[in-house]
Amino acid sequence: MSSEKKISQASVIRLELYMEYLEQLGREGRKYVTSKEIGESLGIAAVSVRQDLFGLSSAGKPKVGYEIEKLLSLIYEVFDMNKIKKACIVGYGNLGRALAKSQIWERAGYELAAIFDNDPSVVGTGSDGVKVRSVSELFGVINSEEIRMAVIATPAGEAQETARLLVSAGIKGIWNFAPLKLNVPDEIAVENQSLVWGLITLSFAMKDVETN
């Protein structure tokens, strides 16, 4: 067991909100920020902000506040964004292609190292220098390339079997886009991507707009 306290989903989301906000302040040329300002801008109680930042072992200075660049580097460390890790995608349908071509990898500290699909008409094609390989090569490539993170972008019916394969090949984290809960060993990290939340957040904002 880690001596680190388990950080809850809500705290992770708060840290991501801080990160985005601090990066924005940084782009505006700001050097310092107070917990009060962070809290008010994001709608989070100042006491929670202070607690979260204290958890990053960062100390604010009276009146001046926190050094933005230092806070950001502590958050990047929490999210393991300082070193580049290798990722692979399984499933080169519409979603897999959209993800392969997106700019998310570099932003989050990843290199897209491999793509797999079981459709022979797709194998051999590719995106930006990453060739699509047959799923039969998955085990060997994940091992030789030392890939530890995989995206499941397969049809829902193939997701569970894909997860089993990935885990047996040594994958430690799965970003799952299939709309089902994967059955994997406890030590495997799984992030189920829910696009529904973005849509619901927008509905809320539109409702607010309409009643203004």
Residue 94 binds a copy of itself (CB under 8 A): yes
The 10 Å Cβ neighbour count of residue 71 is 23
DSSP symbols for 93-121 = SHHHHHHHHSSHHHHTTEEEEEEEES-TT
141 forms beta bridges with none
- In the complex with a copy of itself, the residue whose CB is nearer, 4 or 129, is 4
Q: What angle do CA 143, 162, 107 make, to 5 degrees?
A: 65
Interacting span for a copy of itself (CB under 8 A) from 26-34, 38-46, 58-66, 157-165: 38-46
Interacting span for a copy of itself (CB under 8 A) from 28-36, 44-52, 55-63, 139-147: 44-52
Residue 84 binds a copy of itself (CB under 8 A): no
- In the complex with a copy of itself, the residue whose CB is nearer, 27 or 63, is 27
| String marking each residue 183-212 x if it binds a copy of itself according to CB under 8 A | ----xxxxx-x-xxxxxxxxxxxxxxxxxx
- In the complex with a copy of itself, the residue whose CB is nearer, 120 or 199, is 199
| String marking each residue 129-158 x if it binds a copy of itself according to CB under 8 A | -------------------xx---------
The footprint of a copy of itself on this chain (CB under 8 A) covers a number of residues equal to 70
As a whole number of Å, the CA-based R_g of the chain is 20
Residue 8 binds a copy of itself (CB under 8 A): yes
113, 145 contact by CB (below 8 A): yes
* Closest CB 5 distance from a copy of itself, rounded Å: 10
* Closest CB 90 distance from a copy of itself, rounded Å: 15
CA distances from 138 to 110, 144, 175, 178, 184 (A): 19, 10, 16, 19, 18
- In the complex with a copy of itself, the residue whose CB is nearer, 80 or 161, is 80
d(CA 99, CA 121): 19
Residue carrying structure tokens 């089993």 = 164
Torsion over CA: 180, 183, 186, 190 (sign): negative
37, 109, 130, 184: residue in contact with a copy of itself (rule CB under 8 A): 109
